[in-house]
Structure 1
Amino acid sequence: MKRINTPILVILLALIVGIICYDAYRVSLFWIAAILLLAIALLFLIHRLAFKRPLNAIAFTAGISIVFITIGYATSERANALNNETHFTHTNTNNPSTFLFSIDEVLKPTIYQEKYVVTLKTINKEATSGKVILNVNRDGISHRLRVGEWYYTRALLLPVPKSKNPYQFDYGSYLKRKQIHGQLSINKDELLISQHTSSGLRVWSSRFRESVLKAIHAHSFSRNQLAVIDALVLGQKNGIDKQMSTNYASAGMMHILAVSGLHVGIMLLLLRFITKPIADYKLRWLRSIIIIVMIWAFAFITGLSPSVLRAATMFSFLEVGQQLGGKRKTTDAVMASAVLLLIYNPFLIHQVGFQLSYLAVIGILWIQPWLSSFYTPRYYIDRLIWGIATVSVAAQLGVLPLSLFYFHQFPGLFFLSNVIIIPFLGIILGGGILVALLAVLNILPDALATTYGYAIDLMNGFIFWVASKEAFITNHITISFAFLIGLYLCIIFSISLFKKYNNPRLVAASLSMVLLTSIIIYEKSNPPATHLTIFNKSKSTMIGTFHNSTLKIHSTDSLHTIIQDSRVRNYKDGLRIDEVAVECMQNYFRFKRKEILVVDSLGIYQLANANPDYILLTQSPKININRLTERFPKAQIIADASNYKSYITRWKTTCLNKKIPFHSTYEKGAYIIE
């Protein structure tokens, strides 16, 4: 990746800084406009003096940076849906209201609910805007709602869910990053279809996918085969069950089941192969136009998900860059595509998929040529295997720190999985497109369907075999943000040194290693503080104490249930926990000079010499809260989610009247005592 286009790099980095600044601090539009005008005036002045002072290049770079930092900030302000005057957050929705909305996206359902992303049109007949999640209780009979349909319903608009346990994935923040700020929960019989319907490419794409899915499902594919075909060809992951998802993730091949950069990249290679007859100089631009049109057609058919959108944009720029000037222009095209996408939607920078996609491509462009230089294959087969191997390692080095930071897992056999699967993925993807096309035309031969299903079974079988080698899967890897930055700096400067040895690169690599070592030493010498956590868990009670890298769980659940509990797994991911011990639930705890009384369904609290600082009410005890608080007037009351909501409401009211501190884990999340 030689001779990077510095202006594009500066613009990209400045744009990212502006978007991050918007999250950290908000200013008025007046100051944004003022800074932008001043920066433009500075650039004009520097341009006039460009040939008189040698420092003007640095000043011009600083001016460009200020301009695009401001543009990044301004685009974030523009893209923030909450700034729209008609957004539903500016309307009083504390009481049940009548909503008119359109279905925008069908999400993967849960056991009990179907889920959709919808856009609000009116609230109580008043025009409004904004996206919310629609949760529809499943009845097992009615058909699913379709993209583009409009419905009426009357319900209470609720806020997005909050994380209620430590180190849990914050689904509410994730939704807000996608400009979704509320949710509706209803039964299907509470929906009334409207005569209005949406139109456009997204609706057409959804209808086309529905017809393809119906045609494919009419043939004798097994459930697992259909799940992979739907995900691989059409980007529909609703049929992927938890076990299959876990197996693909453990094998380091989860990217196969999500139509993303890998699939669009394979489509690009297939299209280049098909259009090779018109690859001469005079027709090369016609070839590129055909390739780009087909890439975007594939993107629309698969639903224009964010991953496909950024991949189609990136590879369109890559194709143009290839025609303009080879590898150097390819690098410039990647950066230019990122600039375009961030100006279109600045909040993409917060999406993990966006970060991983670009880091993987950067790793391939920068590291793969260097790795491939270590060996020159003589034959086609070893050239193919060596190319896939170097690309896989380069991409993995690009995303490894970020993957550890987000997913806390490293699949040790990712190399084997990629080398075996990727060469055949083009055939499988191309075969899937052919099968889908023939199925729609109702001319799919049974022999071809059987053969293709067998190929899918072979791929699934290999993935499941790799996933079963648990000794090669490293879980619960926890790294901090500081360690993430230090690790990236160490990788970048070390590879730079290996590619070309000189004193400045040696100094940079050494300093990065010193920095990473210092971060490790600091974090080892400052471990997380000892604490006790009363978890938010429905139908049962769970208390955990953390001390010296050991988590001790007290619960009435079985050992297997506790070990598999997502709250425990999140704790192991969030902290450097070496051991999880499980003990039976007690009625009285002593923790750091604090005493905790647990009152369960038996309602026993008259303990001799008890003087609790906290009282945990669990399993809906039938007690007189007034008598309890009179006996222990200084104790704080805590109610977990195993209690009936009506009991919690009654206890809360009594405590508020008596000015006694009250904490409901159902409302406020887990309670932590340090």
Structure 2
Amino acid sequence: MQVKWAPNAFVRLVLPLMAGILTYLYYGPALPVLWPLLLGLGVVFAGMQWWAARQPQLGPTDAAGLLAVLVLYVAGLTLTQQATESRAADHLYHFGGEIEFYRAVVDDYTVRRPATYATTVRVSAVRVAGQWRPAVGGIRVSIPLTDSLPAPQYGDVWLVRGAPAPSKAPLNPGEFDYRRYLQYHQIYHQQFIHPDQYQRIAVDPPNLLRAVAMRAARVVEGVFKQYVGAKREYALASALVLGLKDDVDQQTKEAYANTGTTHIMAVSGLQVGLLFGAVSWLLGLLPGRRGPVMRLVTALVGLAVIWSYAFLTGLSASVLRAAVMFSFLIVARAFGRQTSMYNLLAVAAFFLLCYDPYLLCDVGFQLSFLAVLSIVYLQPRIAAWLQPKAWFLERQRPWQPPAVQRLWRWAGVSTDWLWRATALSLAAQVATFPLGLFYFHQFPLSFLLSNLVAVPISSLAVYVGLALLVLKGVGWGLGLFSASLAHGFDYLTKGVACVFEWMIWFFNEYIFLIGRALPGALVSGIHITAPQAWLIFGVILALLAFFSLKKLQWLALACSFMGVFAGSRVWAARRLATNEQLVVYSIPRRSVVGFWQGAAADIVPLDSLPLTETERTYRIVPGSIGRNARRVSYWPGWQHGPVPAVVAEPGLVLAGWRGRQLAFVSGRLSGSTRPLPGLVAVVLRRNARVQPPEVAALFGTAPRIVFDSSCKSWYVARQDSLFRAAGFRTHDVALAGAFTVQMGQ
């Protein structure tokens, strides 16, 4: 596996750039301003190149190459630093809670949730102490979903009363770090805005082209809504062709995730690649296609089609990535450059990261490039393992009837296609396997069965869906001249729509069938850390090098990586086996306590109402996965659970576990209970009407006062100051996150 750098020049450029970006992500806040250093290194590099060019013999290429790597590394650091909006002097962070009003513009798609609309606004000015000041910053906002309030639209300018709050850190053990996710998109604040807190005062889109594209995407979506009758098929049609997934129900999303076919509903490289392939095939039928003029025409048409499609999908980030990648491929072909796919991928990644360094943190960016890279390298090698076409063709005999010979030939062609599709799916999984475990904590063993049928049919459905849009456009054009002609043409459009809907129904039913037929094919609850993911990547790369170079050193390296990975898993399991932990969870409007012992847990909702599927999935399950839990039991209240609890008096429950005691107070303290020293914490629930002297008389001031999520914010604000003044330590799970007690400490 010898690396040839000459045809892969940009691979050498993008690697140090990515290293610089990663370094800033981990150590950025501690670094000084970096652009003077980059400027100085750039001047030194230019001077060295000028000096080397004037030498009669070859100059110091090694030194210049190392300096170029250093320049690109510092460039990655500097670009990421400049792209970090929170460093600006007029960022929202510097105004804190002093903001009275702010002016902002809606700068993203609006997501419709069951009870709210969610979108992102970009601030342009804030009013502090009666004066307006320029400001920058992104805010993730939510507003109630009501019949009287229209959905926020891209470009709406709002005047909002009140100050946004900094994004919250994860509130429960193992919970998804939504704050970090927002920060990677330059959003550092969140706010729930009531209807009387904001007013739309203007419409001024930050990007007029994107505003038109998003409006066009909704118009095109209306075509599917008109011609695709079934709600589920219409939702999948919008997701498949346009990437609009607002109407896809949760059950369908889970079915696709469990079978490894979620990528079908995300408009990205698959759809753009299909479009590119169709355009290339059609243009390849034209005469004179190998001439320079025809190559230029082909490139212009290909670019126009791809970017028109990107426009119709609202210029979403995933489509833009794919469009940029294929644009470089089209331009390279137009100029007759025999560049490798590795270099084209590196070029696309280099320019995308220069535009936005934080794309490196985007899961879609990582999966897209790794999948394409793996397909380019591995798919031909895996496909070469078997030669089904040759095997069937060898069975042909001259004396056989023509029908039998055609049967052998078609069997060879179809089997060869099936095997190549299998090789492609396997190749894509090799590189994305570690990321799937790290981000999604699961691996669908049925991905081959799912993709072998769903991907070809969904690919054909994309073509049919695009044909439907074209026919609708033609019909609209005919309607300008003759209403009767347009009406007759509409029957053809409806026929294509019927085929489109049937195809979507078929592959969707197939996905559900796979899920029902193979319920145990999804391996879930897998937890690996970032270093462990890197170790898996190391094993894969070392094995690929071994199979290519046939040197035992690479196999030994792969075994070493596997040994370190296994050792880290054993060490983590041993550390958790003796870990005992008590957790008061932060779940809105709920009182929930967890008792953890190694890989087993008992979760007790104190209000005796079972946790909803959403509450378990997003609040409890991530921590369970992080601990590799083997048993998690949910008990509706104390009376059914294994944790001993005593009702000392109405509104006061005393629970003991592993030698520690907690008091749960949900009402008044009557004073009939004797003093109870030695408690770990006193958990106040449901706005318990107690005063610090009453608590101190019964429990002393040593226990921590914990306000659980069933307490109102106004109650916590009032009681917190009173208890702190009385000498208590307090903890609000709604703001500070879950309250955790490690047993044995």
TM class by shorter chain equals: over 0.9
Flag the 1:326–1:228 CA change in 2: closer, same or farther, 3 A. farther
The alignment status of 1:451 with 2:451, answered yes or no, reads: no
Separation in 2, partners of 1:11, 1:315: 20
The match for 1:269 among 262, 271, 277 is 277
Moved more, 37-46 or 529-538: 37-46
- 2:380 alignment counterpart: 369
Superposition deviation, residue 47 in structure 1 = 8.0
- 2:400 alignment counterpart: none
Separation in 2, partners of 1:605, 1:108: 51
> Could you tell me whether the CA contact under 8 Å between 2:122 and 2:136 is conserved in 1?
yes
Superposition deviation, residue 32 in structure 1 = 4.4
The alignment status of 1:169 with 2:171, answered yes or no, reads: no
- 1:348 alignment counterpart: 359
Superposition deviation, residue 558 in structure 1 = 5.2
> Could you tell me whether the CA contact under 8 Å between 2:370 and 2:432 is conserved in 1?
yes
Flag the 1:510–1:173 CA change in 2: closer, same or farther, 3 A. closer
Superposition deviation, residue 326 in structure 1 = 8.0
The match for 1:148 among 140, 155, 159 is 155
Deviation readout 1:332-352 (Å, 9 max, x if unpaired): 010111111111100111111
- 1:9 alignment counterpart: 11
Residue aligned with 1:105, SS: coil
Unpaired stretches in structure 1, ≥5 consecutive residues: none
Moved more, 554-563 or 459-468: 554-563
Residue aligned with 2:107, SS: strand
Superposition deviation, residue 121 in structure 1 = 2.8
> Could you tell me whether the CA contact under 8 Å between 1:40 and 1:63 is conserved in 2?
no
- 1:202 alignment counterpart: 210
- 2:531 alignment counterpart: 482
The match for 1:582 among 634, 649, 654 is 634
The alignment status of 1:622 with 2:689, answered yes or no, reads: yes
> Could you tell me whether the CA contact under 8 Å between 2:434 and 2:533 is conserved in 1?
yes
Pairing 1:552-591 to 2, within 5 Å after superposition: 552-556=602-606, 557=608, 561=612, 564-583=616-635, 584-585=637-638, 586=645, 587-591=653-657
Flag the 1:473–1:607 CA change in 2: closer, same or farther, 3 A. farther
> Could you tell me whether the CA contact under 8 Å between 1:43 and 1:64 is conserved in 2?
no
- 1:224 alignment counterpart: 232
Moved more, 498-507 or 382-391: 498-507
| Counterpart residue type for residue 733 of structure 2 | T
Residue aligned with 1:424, SS: helix
> Could you tell me whether the CA contact under 8 Å between 1:121 and 1:127 is conserved in 2?
yes
Separation in 2, partners of 1:91, 1:229: 45
**TM-score, reference length from structure 1:** 0.92
Deviation readout 1:390-412 (Å, 9 max, x if unpaired): 11111111100111001001111
Separation in 2, partners of 1:536, 1:230: 36
The match for 1:75 among 79, 95, 102 is 79
The alignment status of 1:403 with 2:436, answered yes or no, reads: yes
| Counterpart residue type for residue 726 of structure 2 | K
Residue aligned with 1:106, SS: coil
Flag the 1:57–1:223 CA change in 2: closer, same or farther, 3 A. same
Separation in 1, partners of 2:358, 2:628: 31
Superposition deviation, residue 268 in structure 1 = 1.6
Pairing 1:475-624 to 2, within 5 Å after superposition: 475-527=524-576, 529-556=579-606, 557=608, 561=612, 564-583=616-635, 584-585=637-638, 586=645, 587-601=653-667, 607-608=673-674, 610-611=676-677, 612-624=679-691
Flag the 1:209–1:49 CA change in 2: closer, same or farther, 3 A. closer
> Could you tell me whether the CA contact under 8 Å between 2:269 and 2:319 is conserved in 1?
yes
C-alpha root-mean-square deviation of aligned residues, in Å?
2.8
Separation in 1, partners of 2:282, 2:163: 54
Flag the 1:311–1:417 CA change in 2: closer, same or farther, 3 A. same
Separation in 2, partners of 1:46, 1:137: 61
- Larger Cα Rg: Structure 1 or Structure 2? 2
Flag the 1:444–1:212 CA change in 2: closer, same or farther, 3 A. farther
> Could you tell me whether the CA contact under 8 Å between 1:228 and 1:240 is conserved in 2?
yes
| Counterpart residue type for residue 584 of structure 2 | I
Moved more, 579-588 or 554-563: 554-563
Superposition deviation, residue 36 in structure 1 = 4.9
Superposition deviation, residue 489 in structure 1 = 0.8
> Could you tell me whether the CA contact under 8 Å between 2:220 and 2:312 is conserved in 1?
no
- 1:89 alignment counterpart: 93
Flag the 1:401–1:94 CA change in 2: closer, same or farther, 3 A. same
Deviation readout 1:396-450 (Å, 9 max, x if unpaired): 1110011100100111111111111122222101111222333454554333323
Separation in 1, partners of 2:667, 2:468: 59
- 2:261 alignment counterpart: 253
Deviation readout 1:15-36 (Å, 9 max, x if unpaired): 1121122221346665542365
The match for 1:431 among 438, 444, 464 is 464
The alignment status of 1:392 with 2:418, answered yes or no, reads: no
Moved more, 601-610 or 312-321: 601-610
Separation in 2, partners of 1:600, 1:161: 27
> Could you tell me whether the CA contact under 8 Å between 2:457 and 2:503 is conserved in 1?
no
> Could you tell me whether the CA contact under 8 Å between 1:43 and 1:63 is conserved in 2?
no
| Counterpart residue type for residue 722 of structure 2 | T
Deviation readout 1:79-137 (Å, 9 max, x if unpaired): 1222334433334553431x332222223221111112222233245433332223221
Task: Give the fraction of aligned pairs with identical amino acids, expressed as a percent.
Answer: 22
Flag the 1:632–1:188 CA change in 2: closer, same or farther, 3 A. closer
Superposition deviation, residue 298 in structure 1 = 1.2
- 2:345 alignment counterpart: 334
> Could you tell me whether the CA contact under 8 Å between 2:217 and 2:313 is conserved in 1?
yes
The match for 1:462 among 489, 497, 510 is 510
Moved more, 484-493 or 503-512: 503-512
Unpaired stretches in structure 2, ≥5 consecutive residues: 390-411, 477-488, 639-644, 646-652
